[in-house]
Amino acid sequence: MDPRRYLGSAWRHPVLRAVLKAALTILVATAITFVLIRLLPGNPVDLRIDELTRDGSMTYEQAREQVSAIYPIDLNDPIPLQFLGYLWNVLRGDLGTSYLSTTASVTSIILAVLPWTLFAVGTGLLLSFVAGIGLGLLAAYHRGSFFDQAVSTIGSIVSSVPNYLIAILIVLIFGVQLEILPITQMRGATSPGIHPGFTLEFVGDVLFHAALPILVFFLTHIGHWILSMRNATLATLEEDYVVAARARGLRESRITTAYVGRNAALPLVTQLAIATGFIVGGAVLIEQVFLYQGIGLRLLRAVAQRDYPVMQGILLLVTISVVVANLAADLLYSKLDPRIGRTS
């Protein structure tokens, strides 16, 4: 079979095409990371070699060797081969080691902080989704009422004020002025000295520390869900099948859940899938305000320490998670909505 025809037919298959596009995007993301560390003027590889050789304690070859070990790149290879080598190492999960300690691999550093971010942002995102769907549906059903206006206005206000300012306001007002929240004790992901495990004490402690980040992530997203669900519901209420369901005398509660709510929430499920990809990326400033030890705070530490391998590892992880989430959203949508054929 002609390879071009083979590729062409693969491209026309929607699932295959989505997977191919995702793989290509990850490839480009890896290429950009490689260009950043290797090719641009002032790149960290040359910078590091420069630093190591400056005081004369190391020869150029020794410095190159050490930097080769820090970044998963063999600096003796020609550039294209270096890229392939880097790509291969990334595929194997080898993102190099930290500048500060050559025994700490970037992968292990990321894995140590990632769960906390996933937990805090994921919980906030899910709670906001559920609450936003409910409030948006109610607002649309009572269009023009005081409830609708209040919910819509509050929704658009919380989504337009930058979320890190909301976080600072919480610390400022409830922590410092009113002294309701023990802000300094709530820092970090857990209390010092507590033993991890499925004990009530540990779970309670985790929730205590994650409460404020969860609250802020909840507030960050809820406005969007409320407004989208309200608009989607308003559009769905006009659909013929809703009118027909009413004419058939179905109970209003059944129409609300099975006919209106379900169809209106459909596009939002895809948006939720896309939003999960931004979990890691959206956490930086919030984690900084609450000093919550997630991946965002780790990134900032790497930035402050000029620990480029860690920075680039996190950048790569964040990009891949967004691409995978987008792919999942694509596939989910064609699965949820029978009108969108799998094969066109």
Partner 1 sequence: MSIIATIARRPAGLIGLIGVGGFVLLAFVVPFFVPLRNTVDIGSIYVTPSLAHPLGTDFQGRDVLNQIVYGGRDILTIAFLAALFSTAIAVTFGSIAATRGGTVDTIVLAITDIVLTVPHLIVLIVVAAIFRPQGFLLLAVLLASLQWAGLLRQVRAQVLSLKEREYVEAARSLDLGLFHVIFREMLPNMASYVAIHFIFAMTGAVYAQVGLIVLGLVPMTGANWGVMLQLALSQGAIYFSDSFWYILSPILAIALFQLSLVALASGLEDVFNPRLRAG
Spell out, one character per residue from 89 to 128, where the chain touches partner 1: x when CB under 8 A holds, - when not. Answer: ----------------------------------------
Give the span between the Cα atoms of 3 and 132, in whole angstroms.
49
Interface with partner 1 by CB under 8 A: which range of 66-74, 111-119, 173-181, 330-338?
173-181
Interface with partner 1 by CB under 8 A: which range of 83-91, 133-141, 159-167, 188-196?
159-167
Q: Which is nearer to partner 1, 102 or 184 (CB)?
A: 184
Phi, psi dihedral angles at 280 (to 5 degrees):
-65, -40
183 binds partner 1 (CB under 8 A): yes
Could you say which residues in the range 262-301 bind partner 1, by CB under 8 A?
278, 280-282, 284-285, 288-289, 299-300
Which of 41, 97, 47, 38 minimizes the C-alpha distance to 72?
A: 97
Q: Which of 39, 69, 168, 269 binds partner 1 (CB under 8 A)?
A: 168
Would you list the DSSP string of 121-166?
A: HHHHHHHHHHHHHHHHHHHHHTTTSHHHHHHHHHHHHHHHS-HHHH
Contact 289, 163 (CB under 8 A): no
Neighbours of 246 (CB within 10 A): 12
Spell out, one character per residue from 42 to 61, where the chain touches partner 1: x when CB under 8 A holds, - when not. Answer: xxx-----------------
343 binds partner 1 (CB under 8 A): no
Q: Which is nearer to partner 1, 28 or 91 (CB)?
A: 28
Residue 308, CB-side half-sphere exposure with 13 Å CA sphere: 16
Would you list the DSSP string of 169-196?
A: HHIIIIIIIS--S-HHHH-SSS-TTPPP
Amino acid symbol at 101: S
Rounded to 10 degrees, the C-alpha dihedral 163/166/171/174 comes to -140
Give the span between the Cα atoms of 344 and 342, in whole angstroms.
6
315 binds partner 1 (CB under 8 A): yes
Q: Which is nearer to partner 1, 13 or 306 (CB)?
A: 306
Amino acid symbol at 246: R
Residue 303 C-beta: closest distance to partner 1, Å: 4
CB-based contacts of 113, cutoff 8 Å, min separation 6: 293, 294, 295, 297, 298
Contact 213, 116 (CB under 8 A): no
Residue 75 C-beta: closest distance to partner 1, Å: 19
Residue 92 C-beta: closest distance to partner 1, Å: 22
Q: Which of 172, 203, 207, 235 binds partner 1 (CB under 8 A)?
A: 172
Q: Which is nearer to partner 1, 236 or 245 (CB)?
A: 236
Q: Which is nearer to partner 1, 58 or 168 (CB)?
A: 168
Q: Which is nearer to partner 1, 205 or 287 (CB)?
A: 287
**Binding residues vs partner 1 (CB under 8 A):** 21, 25, 28-29, 36, 40, 42-44, 143-144, 156-157, 160-162, 164-165, 168-169, 171-172, 175-177, 183-184, 278, 280-282, 284-285, 288-289, 299-300, 303, 306, 308, 311-312, 314-315, 318-319, 322-323, 326
